[in-house]
Copies of this chain bind each other. A is one copy, B any other.
Amino acid sequence: MGAASADLVADLLAGDRRALARVLTRIEDGAGDVVRPLIAGLHPHTGEATLVGVTGAPGAGKSTLVDALIGSWRAAGQTVGVLAIDPSSPFSGGALLGDRVRMQDHVLDEGVFIRSMASRGQLGGLSWSTPQALLALDAAGFDVLLVETVGVGQGEVEVAGLADTTVVVVAPGMGDAVQAAKAGILEVADVFCVNKADRPGASRTARELRELQMLGNHDGADTPIVLTTASSGEGIEELRTAVADHRTALEAGDELAARRRARARLQIRELALGTVRARTAAVRGAASLDALAVAVADRELDPYSAADRLLDALDGA
């Protein structure tokens, strides 16, 4: 590990928030040779934090909910690190990040650290950097790590692969539970949260969630459903308790360890595939991706044969 990396790791472990921010920036930039020594230095100091995923459709009020949950954990004496995965676009710029700014209620609290990360440009809904960023927050000593995703669908399934406990948030409204089911996120829920419960239809949405679960005939049919109104704080303690109870149940069996092994498995494989992806970009000549793409587009070569040539070029390199 280079001297600069070693210093940065030492500072992060000592609780220096600026060092943490710098490490996260390097992880997000994603240059493997820069990130590798950081992770090697941090990894032995990880494994203690509780990982909670919060996910659901746009408009379900996830940011306000996360804000309220932070307050609840803090009141209970726990420190909280938040990673908000943001499919940021050139269009959104800073203007749409008002909710992030709002979370800066906690900006003066040393026990809270909030970071947005872009998922843009990554294959897969979650940024590949996410697991590495979580290691950095874990090593920095936060009791609870919260990963929030904007969006619906694949990203949520991946969050579930990363978190110890996944909270799926829906808002009352015509067909919201059905839309969540369509998006395939119901079965990743360890805890359901019907947020904006002061709106009409909240209890119907809860009932729909239960019915859809029964329909799926899944063994998770007793997944707790908590009604919250994040803006007023209603139900937030109950939600935090449901998360804690799930965690306790995980620890009672081998399930927590099993989830963490699955997480490690995914992380290892994706890091390896990331290396292979980088190698494919470095191939030159007739087996380069550009040359192969022209041959496939011109129907001189089929895609499988092209993929074979690319792999042969890697194996021979």
Q: Chain A residues in contact with chain B, CB under 8 A?
A: 32, 35-36, 39-40, 43-44, 46-47, 57-59, 86-93, 95-96, 119-120, 122-125, 131-132, 135, 150-155, 157-158, 175, 178-179, 181-187, 212-213, 215-218, 257, 260-265, 267-273, 275-277, 280, 289-290, 292-294, 296-297, 299, 302-307, 310-311, 314-315
A187 near B268 with CB under 8 A, answer no
Within the assembled complex, what's the spacing in Å between the Cα atoms of A304 and B314?
Answer: 20
CB distance from A220 to the nearest CB of B (A): 10
Q: Across the interface, do A303 and B93 meet the contact criterion of CB distance under 8 Å?
A: no
Residues of B contacting A153 in the complex (Cβ-Cβ under 8 angstroms): 87, 119, 125, 150-155
Closest 6 CB pairs of A and B: A151-B153, A91-B216, A271-B307, A89-B184, A87-B184, A265-B293
The residue of chain B having its C-beta at the shortest distance from the C-beta of A302 within the complex is: B43
Number of copies: 2
Q: Which residues of B contact A275 (CB under 8 A)?
A: 307, 311
16 CB-based A-B contacts, threshold 8 Å: A39-B303, A39-B304, A58-B183, A87-B153, A90-B218, A96-B178, A123-B154, A124-B124, A135-B303, A151-B153, A153-B155, A264-B306, A265-B292, A269-B280, A273-B276, A315-B315
Closest to A294 in B: B261
Closest chain-B Cβ to A166's Cβ sits at a distance in Å of 14
Does A303 contact B264, Cβ atoms closer than 8 Å? yes
Chain B residues with CB below 8 A from A262, complex form:
293
**In the bound complex, CA of A289 to CA of B58 (Å):** 35
Check A123 against B120 for contact (C-beta < 8 Å): no
Asked if A44 and B268 make an inter-chain contact with CB atoms under 8 angstroms apart, the answer reads: no
Task: From the candidates B40, B96, B299, name the one contacting A181 in the complex (CB within 8 A).
Answer: B96
Q: Which residue of B lies closest to A305 (CB)?
A: B40
- Interface-central residue, A39, A86, A91, A125, by most chain B CB under 10 Å: A91
Determine if B151 and A183 form an interchain contact, defined as CB atoms under 8 angstroms apart. yes
The residues of B that contact A46 with a CB separation of less than 8 Å are 299
A292 to chain B, nearest CB (A): 5
Check if A182 sits within 8 Å of B92, measured CB to CB: yes
Shortest distance from the beta carbon of A92 to any chain B beta carbon, whole Å: 5
Q: Report whether B273 and A273 are in contact in the complex, using a CB–CB cutoff of 8 Å.
A: yes
Complex Cα distance, B153 from A87, in Å, reads: 7
Q: A215's contact among B93, B132, B299, by CB below 8 Å, is which?
A: B93
Of all chain B residues, the one with the shortest Cβ separation from A91 is: B216
